[in-house]
């Protein structure tokens, strides 16, 4: 059940991360923004981050030292920054896409990571360790050990895989377009442009980023 436990943690915090990103980006941009490249309410980067944090916390659970919180903070800053950098680098290097850009922030490295947000990840990690971790393992195990819980997890994963396939299809189109125009595509900027340009009466276009972005991208390609 260990695998299903971590799968549950990944799924749970992919949704939690989406909520945090949705609130933050929508407030900052003063427009409703569905963060990430997937259509559903998930940001997988947060799911992977939560799994890493849980492993770190498990590692130090039975170690008694007055510097435990500091060590967890430093490790979390380093590992989560590496995760963020690697993800951003792969998206830019192989797909010519940017899902986030810290270029305007001080102490940033190539726009992939910056000191300000790395420190924020560190403090969020301490919140995770203090308030969430103590009950997370038991909660996750109890959830996946129940038939209803395991069935629900299976449905979620199935929908996630479908969404991932659909989103990869859109990413493929975005990559081809980016290579064609020889420029890096800012995914969030494109989503905003798409929502503003699709017809308002088409409710689905205004709500789901795949529908609106896909239509907008097709129109741009036709114009070229």
pLDDT in tens, the chain (224 residues): 799 999 999 999 999 999 998 898 888 877 777 787 787 889 999 999 999 999 999 998 888 888 899 999 999 999 999 999 999 999 888 888 888 889 988 899 999 999 999 999 999 999 999 999 999 999 999 999 999 999 999 999 999 999 898 888 877 877 877 777 777 877 777 766 666 665 554 544 444 555 556 666 666 555 55
Exposed, middle or buried: residue 127 (CB in 10 Å: 0-12, 13-18, 19+)?
Answer: exposed
DSSP conformational letter for 38: -
The pLDDT of residue 224: 53
pLDDT score recorded for residue 90: 93
pLDDT number for residue 201: 45
- Beta-bridge partners for 113: 109
- pLDDT value of residue 83: 96
Q: What global pTM score does this model have?
A: 0.86
* CA terminus-to-terminus distance, the chain: 52
Q: Are 74 and 122 in contact (CB under 8 A)?
A: yes
pLDDT at position 7 is: 97
**Is 14 within 8 Å of 43 (Cβ atoms)?**
yes
DSSP H stretches of helix in the chain: 2-29, 44-60, 68-95, 115-127, 133-145, 147-181, 187-197, 203-207, 209-223
Q: What integer pLDDT is reported at residue 195 of this predicted model?
A: 63
Give the number of other CB atoms < 10 A from CB of residue 210: 21
Distance (Å, whole) CA 34 – CA 172: 19
Strand pairing class (113-114; 185-186): unpaired
Residue 216 contacts residue 194 (beta carbons within 8 Å): yes
């Amino acid at each position: 059940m260990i695998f299903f436990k971590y799968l549950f943690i990944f799924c749970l915090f992919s949704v939690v991360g989406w909520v945090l990103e949705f609130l933050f980006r929508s407030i900052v941009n003063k427009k409703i923004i569905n963060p990430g490249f997937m259509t559903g309410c998930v940001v997988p980067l947060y799911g992977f981050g939560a799994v890493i944090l849980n492993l770190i916390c498990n590692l130090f659970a039975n170690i008694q030292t007055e510097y435990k919180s500091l060590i967890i903070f430093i490790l979390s800053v380093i590992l989560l920054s590496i995760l963020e950098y690697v993800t951003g680098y792969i998206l830019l290097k192989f797909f010519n896409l940017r899902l986030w850009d810290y270029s305007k922030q001080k102490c940033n490295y190539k726009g992939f990571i910056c000191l300000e947000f790395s420190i924020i990840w560190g403090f969020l990690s301490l919140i995770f360790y203090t308030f969430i971790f103590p009950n997370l393992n038991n909660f996750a195990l109890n959830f996946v050990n129940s038939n209803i819980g395991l069935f629900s997890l299976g449905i979620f994963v199935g929908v996630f895989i479908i969404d991932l396939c659909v989103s990869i299809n859109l990413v493929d189109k975005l990559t081809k377009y980016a290579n064609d125009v020889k420029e890096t595509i800012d995914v969030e900027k494109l989503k905003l442009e798409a929502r503003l340009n699709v017809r308002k009466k088409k409710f689905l276009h205004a709500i789901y980023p795949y529908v609106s972005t896909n239509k907008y991208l097709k129109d741009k390609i036709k114009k070229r």
